């Protein structure tokens, strides 16, 4: 009887440990996917800032870099201060975006420190779509 009790307790412990490891694996996979998307969007944003752009309009204008699969977009910001341009870096094949606010001068974007955002700065999220 004692052997059966020890076997049942051991089995319960092994099942619990297996469930714990499975949940850790899921968390690690989700976190690594997030960091891949973040790095791709950040690379797109950094690349986009260095490009020559046409004058921003009220709708998104995008440029892509096929080698590294980078995509950056700009549009006029609806914020009432400083006539900002909204710059968006995208992760490939995902709905993951990073934003920054910049000024437009002679087809170049001028970014000030502290204007990097991981959310849409417009009052309504629909204006960032």
What's the pTM value of the predicted model, to 2 decimals?
0.80
Q: What is the pLDDT of residues 79-90, one digit of tens each?
A: 877 788 999 999
Q: How confident is the model at residue 126 (pLDDT cuts 50, 70, 90)?
A: confident
Q: Which of 78, 68, 67 is nearest to 101 (CA)?
A: 78
pLDDT of residue 125: 74
Of 93 and 68, which is predicted with more confidence? 68
Checking if the pLDDT of 51 tops 80, the result is: yes
The string over 48-72, giving b where at least 16 C-beta atoms fall within 10 Å of a residue's C-beta and e elsewhere, is bbeeebeebeeeeeebbeeeeebbb
What is the percent of the chain where pLDDT is above 70? 100
Token output for 88: 């968006």
For residue 47, give both structure tokens: 């690349």
């Amino acid at each position: 009887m004692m052997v059966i009790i020890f076997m049942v307790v051991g089995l319960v412990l092994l099942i619990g440990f297996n469930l714990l490891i499975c949940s850790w694996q899921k968390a690690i996979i989700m976190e690594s996917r997030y960091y891949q998307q973040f790095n791709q969007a950040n690379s797109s944003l950094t690349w986009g800032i260095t490009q020559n752009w046409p004058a921003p309009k009220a709708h998104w204008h995008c440029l892509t870099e096929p080698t590294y699969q980078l995509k950056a977009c700009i549009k006029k910001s609806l914020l009432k201060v400083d006539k900002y341009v909204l710059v968006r870096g995208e992760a490939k094949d995902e709905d993951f975006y990073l934003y920054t606010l910049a000024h437009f001068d002679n087809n170049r974007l001028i970014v000030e420190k502290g204007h990097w955002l991981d959310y849409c700065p417009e009052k309504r999220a629909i204006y960032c779509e």
